[in-house]
Structure formats: structure tokens, C-alpha cells
Structure 1
């Protein structure tokens, strides 16, 4: 843990190159933590595992500042630390101070720098192993009859649960019947906007949901967990307890049993949800011990959460090598035997043949229009094909055939040629003067969408109807005489 967390000093200056890395790799959880109150963060910082996990999520400059202040008993003038920073690195350095201040890790960064007492104490315990806190989990007693599952079995369990969620997303609404996740997972997918009910009230993938498939498994997991955190208040759960349990899981040892006896009531209630997401394994729902999977132990780590996965995530082996070849005649060859990747292709490809390690199909007008109807955009289809292009394709410039890219965009424009908008049609004016008078008033309100002077009629927006009708009634003494 020390080697992963220690920032240390390198030379006497903070380089702008490393500073830019800090800004581009900002973790998605940090803005959520910054929005929390100081009281909640202080409670969170009383747990060493939480401090260590948040430290891992920080950028290189933030980590270096924390480690330089961690063992100091007195505060340091801000100007003293700023003197180490080059001119190019001043802006990233100021941004790092702002981040640490917003997280209430720094007590006051205006004049002097010092870590908040709660964070400093817990972080020291996390680095040195001191303190009597059980924030890193309490290992369960060894039971020879019920040994914990192997690491391979835990990986298979996590992969099966996670791919069940992804496979349901891409297969719903297509007539296929994949394994159905739990009701809690479905509610979370709907609340996050990744899936939405169609006309038949069946959940199907949305445009954000398709974009979700292009993310790394780590980013996908945190996107769902952030939505889970947003629902904590309405479920009357303690947010600090929820966060501390997630951070606790990220510091646990893979392949080891942990006891549930020292968990709070909120954390015990989370076990069911985390089982559904594949973060933990339990022999039974009421078991007094649990095992974290690799999805949980890598929550705040840079290691891949599913090293054995061949799924659609950007960190999987499927993307690392690429598997799609696209020809100028719209013919597509996908060298994969993964059912999840095949299901994703089914969203916008007309599949012709399937072999043990090859899928052959074509991108057609009907297949693209079907994808567009599900909320997937042309740019997302092109982005997917680019992301998962075969290494042989990457020798081409441009990577994808221009004719295919242009045609996919044209099919989208073709679908979007006609747009509907609610409003009112105003007709049967008594005279052309009345028509012009009312039309000019409607134009002043910026509600006119269409007009035809020869037929004395115009079409106005829905939100402007009350004003236009009132204007006509005032002009005609309460008898409109106009159909609208």
C-alpha cells in the first residue's frame, strides 16, 4: 500500500507534463465528493481505508502535496511550496490546491498549507498500519470445511454478473431473451438513463447506454456506482457509510473471506446490491462472511477490474487487439466469439453468417435505421467501428472507408428530414387585414413556425397559443371568429 500511495519528491520542481496528466485523468468520483459537506467528509476521513482510497484517486500533483505535508506537525507557507513549481506548472499547481481544498483535505490553502486533522491522522495510520480501526475489513475465521473460493472462481463470478448486465442492455428490445439482471439493477439502469421503456414498456438501450458500452469496465462500474450514490438519500441510507464500505472493499485482499459482523446496518443492506453488481461473493444471502471480487478490489486502483474479460469495455483484450474489418462495400467481418460483442454488433449490423470465431454481416440502410430508432447516433456507430478496428485496418488512412462513414451520416439525415412540433393552426380570418394584424403580433412573440398569406393561415408554437387567443378575443370583443 505504501508503494502505491507514496508520491515523494522528484527533483525540486513540479513539471508541466506531469501536471497535464493530473488534469486529464481526473476521477469521476472527485466532483461528487467535492459537492459533499465538510461534516460528511470529516466523518469519512476518520476511516484510514477511505483516506488511502481517496489518495489513490488524486492526480500526481495532489498526491505529492499530500505526502510532503503528511509528516509535518506545523503548517507550511503556501509561497514556500509554490517556489518549487515552474512557471509552466503554476496553473496546474493552483488547480491541485483548489481540488484539495474543495475536498477539505487541506485546511486552508490561502496563506498556509496544512492537512485537516482527521485526514492526517487516518492517512498516517493507513501508511504505517497503526491504529485499531477495522476500516480495512475484519478477516473471517479460517474454516477448513468452507474455504473461500479461488481467485479464478471469483473472477468468473464477477465476469458472469457484469456481462449479464451488459448483455441485457444490448439485447433488450431486439426480441432476444438474455439472462435478466435483478430488479435493483434494472431500476439503476433506468435511473441512470442507460435504458428507457419503449412504446411497449419494455426497457431498451438508449443513446447514452450505447456510449456507455464504449467506456472501460472501470469507468462503466463507477458510472453505475455514482448513480447508486445519488439514490442513497431517497433510500434513507447513510452516505458516509456507503462510501466508506466501497473504499473498504477497494483495500481488501482478493481471495480472502471477511466477516459481516463488524459492518453497520447500512453496509449490511448494501451486500445484496453489491452481489447483483458482481462486486462481492457470498455463499448464501444470510451468510456471515463474504469475499470481494476483482471488481471491488480494483475500485480505486489502476489495475483492470476484469483481466479475463473479453467484453466490450475499452480495457478488455477485445479492444486491445481490435476485431472489426470494414470494407468499402459495407461488408463487415468481426473476428470474435464473444456473445456480448456479437450482441452489440446486432444493434447496427445485419448479420449474415456466424462461425466459431467470426461474424459476417453488412451495414445496411435498414440496420442503421433500426439503430437510430433505438437512440443510437451515426457518430456513435462510427466511433464504435473506429474503437474496435482490427490492427490491419489501422494501417489505412483514413481508418474507416469515407464512403461508409458518409453514408451512415446520410441515413441519419434522411431520418431526421421531417421534424414534428406541437402547435396550433390559425385559419378563417374575416379579412386579410385581420390576418396580417394577428400574424404580426404572433411574430413579435416569436411563435410563428409556418405561414401562408394566400390562404390567410399560419401555424404557431404551442406555448404562444394562450397569448394569441387572448389578443384575438380582445380585438373581436370576445368572439374570436378564428379557428385555432
Structure 2
């Protein structure tokens, strides 16, 4: 799963686990409706936008016509997601669906600008004597968040986070230790995985633990969630009036300030400022825009930039776009930050450290140590791809273009630097081309080292067997494969195994299609 979708899956999983009554209350807030829409998959968004202005229920057979047969899996996952969030409602015969009425009305108001003027916060009308700009907010948020990460990896001379942060680290299983003192806390296997996550995923990890504490703190979980979603819709650099917040939301400001999500000069200030960590809670944008990111963007537009240029211009304190990996598993990273070096040390055998660069080697032993700490091969690969040097991305794009040129027909389906392209071969088959930022042999070897430890995998699911004829078996197994729920199949013995979640969908298809054909 890509880093941009990791935090969305985490939040959606939490929302899907809420009772239907709580979900319905959430949909009473327009800002929450907009934020939840942003967290949905593209196919689920398509279904919502297709029904938002339609007063009548939509037949399920029409949904099948809206999607190509190759997108059957995406259709199934989208409907499952919408059903889990109770965003869609089925009629008595389960042949038609419609959007949740409250969600439909409030989300439509957001699209047409008919919502309450204070639905997305009340901008403060008075002038702030103390100047607060975007640069200050970015610096404040970065300082708060890096304090938490430095504390987790045990960086010397690091300030101790607040007690509320420490309690969330304990509750989330990111750190553990005897007593309540901060000095006794040690990072856990889950904490190691946390360090390699996208910043948005890290923030949501703590926020979801904060939501789990709402009952102990006598806070309304709906009120808390609504305020978090409102923060994701506010404008960076603007100040908002505290007077428009509920009592629960005002009490949250102190905790959110400790996480770097909001800035409030004093506990009695009449205004607060959302930081970039807050305004990107439900978006795919980077949570923090540091000077190093600006340098990386500039380097992306200059092909042929040298490594020396990077070492001179890239400031310390951000690992974004500074990692180079060679086919011989050697790794170079332009950084002098103790935090970044500590994160790399989780899966790299570091050998040399210079003023602005560290060198190391990815070895079987270093990857195994990471695997023993609960870090997966996919997390390591995703981290290296995310923080790859701009020149590695340029070279990968050049290789991808050369591969596509070998296809006789150039019906290329690519948009905005998408990681995959399609080309139509002369025989009519579709060639899939993937943007390989990292050396393929390095990626494959990291996965093989994990397979050495994961020799046996178990799956929960259901076995389909005793088919009366081969045609019925082929029809049903093909449908399960299109949905992406097929784990194992034996065509000779007419048996196949599907996931636990996919069983109901395959069974419904069998009842609808196969039985109707026999009548």
C-alpha cells in the first residue's frame, strides 16, 4: 500500500468500526462529510458523485454497467467500504441503493456552498498583535513533532514530550516501560514500524489513540471527531475564533498543541491557528513543507543535477529526497540529523559518517534485524522509494520511457507521473510498465529475505467444492478472481478457496446468476 493511502486505510478502519448511530451523528456536520469523502477510494467517490444529485434509488445492475469488467474488484471494494460506513442504504429486496439521506444533504450543501457559514470554522475578525505567518507555523509544528520522534528513538539531549503525548505512546503500544516516568520508556516493535510510516499516518495513529481515551476523559467522541475533521478543512495561516468551539473542543486545543496540530499563544487566547499537520489530515499533500522539500522540487525540475549540488543546498533536518541506492546494495544519504540516521539504522548497516552524509550497506543481517522488530519488507521498500534522490526518479522515468518505446503501439495511459503506464501490443494484449525507482535486484532481495522468515502463511476463508459441472466452476472462480478474493484454485478437482470477506459476495453472485440461469 502506498504511503499516501496508508493513513486513509487506518482512519477508514476506525470509522467502519463505529456504531451506526455514531456514524449518523457524524454526517450531521458538513465538514465531516467532506473529510470522509476525501478518505474514500476513487471508485467509492465516483459512486457518491453519481448519486448525490439523483433523487431516485439506483439499481445495482446499473452499477455493474458503470464499471468495466476488469474493475470488478474495485467495484466490490468500493461498495463494501460504503456499506461499512453506512453511506449507502439498500431497499427491502436489496436490488436498489441510495445514499444516506443526512450525508447526501450535507455533502451536497458543501458542493453548492449552501452550508452554514460557521461549518468550517469561524475566522477571527480581530487583528492579532503577535504576527503569525505560515513559516512560523511550519517551524512550530516541525519542532513539536520532531520532539516526539527524537524521544522515541532515544536521541540524547532531547526534550521530553508532555504527559498527554507520553500516555498516547503507551496506549498505542509504541513505547513501554515500568512506572509512569518518561526515563523508563523504551520503543517497541510497533514503534519501529511507526517511525517508517508517512507523517499523516503517524499523526492519525496518535489521534486514533486519543479518540480511544474520549470516554475516560468524559468527552463526546462525535464532537472530538468532528473537530478533527474540521481542522482538516481549515485554511493554513488563518486564525480562528475559540468562541465558536464547544467546551469539548476548547479542552482539546491544549492536547492538539502538544502534537503540533494547532498553535495557540496562551491557554486563554481568543484565537488559534491550524498548522500544516492539521490542514493536511485528510489530503494526500505532504504534512510539512520544509526548506528541504522546496530544494527537492527545484532539483526535480533540473535534470542532470549533480550529487555535489545536493550536498551543498539540501539543509539538514529532512531526509526527503536524499537517499541513493546502488545495485550492489550500498546506500548513501545526505543528512546529519540524528533522527534520520537513527531511522536508517533500523534496516541499514551504517559504516561511515561525514559532515553531511552517511554511507552504509543493506545486508541480510540488517534486514533481518528490522524484520525481527516487526518492520515489513514492503515498509522498507516504500520508505526508500519515498525518500529516493531526485536523480534516481529521473533515471527511473527514462528507463520507463525506453521500455514503452519497444511496444509497437503507443496507446499509453499515464497521468501526472503515475507509477504505472499501459501500452497496447500488436497482439492486442496490454503491457504493464512500472516505474522502478529502486534497483529491481535490491527490491527482490529484500522481499526474499522476508520470505526466509515467512515460509508458511495462513488465511481465514471458505472452500467452495462439489460443483455439478466444469462450466459452473469456471464461472464462479473467475468472478472470485475478478474481485481479488480468490486465494487458491484447483480446476481438476473443481475446488477453490476465497477470503473470509469475499465469501458473501461470491455466494450472492452464485445465487443471482447461476440459479437464474437454471430456471
Alignment TM-score, normalising by the size of structure 2: 0.63
* Aligned counterpart, 1:129: 113
Residues 144 and 261 of structure 1, relative CA distance in 2, 3 Å threshold? closer
CA distance in 2, matches of 1:254, 1:302: 15
1:207 aligns with 2:189: yes
Q: Give the SS at the match of 1:300.
A: coil
* Aligned counterpart, 2:477: none
Cα distance, 1:251 vs structure 2: 0.6
1:100 aligns with 2:101: no
Residues 395 and 384 of structure 1, relative CA distance in 2, 3 Å threshold? closer
1:140 aligns with 2:120: no
CA distance in 2, matches of 1:229, 1:250: 16
* Aligned counterpart, 1:322: 323
* Matched-pair contact (CA < 8 Å) for 2:192–2:375: no
Greater shift after overlay, 37-46 or 319-328? 319-328
Cα distance, 1:281 vs structure 2: 0.6
Q: What is the 5 A alignment of 1:311-350?
A: 318-323=319-324, 333-345=332-344
Count of paired positions: 379
1:164 aligns with 2:147: yes
Q: Give the SS at the match of 1:320.
A: coil
Cα distance, 1:371 vs structure 2: 6.7
CA distance in 2, matches of 1:65, 1:191: 37
* Aligned counterpart, 1:257: 239
CA distance in 2, matches of 1:90, 1:223: 31
Greater shift after overlay, 154-163 or 65-74? 65-74
Q: 1:299 aligns with which of 274, 281, 286?
A: 281
Cα distance, 1:181 vs structure 2: 0.9
* Aligned counterpart, 2:441: 398
* Matched-pair contact (CA < 8 Å) for 1:237–1:266: yes
Alignment TM-score, normalising by the size of structure 1: 0.67
Residues 351 and 76 of structure 1, relative CA distance in 2, 3 Å threshold? closer
* Matched-pair contact (CA < 8 Å) for 2:323–2:332: no
Cα distance, 1:221 vs structure 2: 1.4
1:187 aligns with 2:181: no
Question: Deviation per CA, 1:322-371, whole angstroms, max 9, x where unpaired?
Answer: 1567978xx87542122321233456778776433123578999x97997
Q: 2:95 aligns with which of 103, 106, 111?
A: 111
Cα distance, 1:320 vs structure 2: 3.4
Cα distance, 1:36 vs structure 2: 1.4
* Aligned counterpart, 1:456: none
Q: What is the 5 A alignment of 1:329-478?
A: 333-345=332-344, 354-359=353-358, 375=373, 398-399=441-442
RMSD of the TM alignment (CA)?
4.1
Q: What is the 5 A alignment of 1:52-91?
A: 52-91=34-73
Residues 126 and 360 of structure 1, relative CA distance in 2, 3 Å threshold? same
Cα distance, 1:237 vs structure 2: 1.2
* Aligned counterpart, 1:218: 200
Q: Give the SS at the match of 1:291.
A: strand
Residues 381 and 288 of structure 1, relative CA distance in 2, 3 Å threshold? closer
Question: Deviation per CA, 1:42-67, whole angstroms, max 9, x where unpaired?
Answer: 21111110101101111111111111
Q: Give the SS at the match of 1:33.
A: helix
* Aligned counterpart, 1:153: 136
What are the ranges of 5 or more consecutive residues in structure 1 without an aligned counterpart? 1-19, 413-484
Cα distance, 1:297 vs structure 2: 0.6
Residues 384 and 51 of structure 1, relative CA distance in 2, 3 Å threshold? closer
Q: Give the SS at the match of 2:88.
A: coil
Residues 107 and 374 of structure 1, relative CA distance in 2, 3 Å threshold? closer
Q: Give the SS at the match of 1:252.
A: coil
* Matched-pair contact (CA < 8 Å) for 1:158–1:279: yes
Q: 2:213 aligns with which of 204, 223, 231?
A: 231
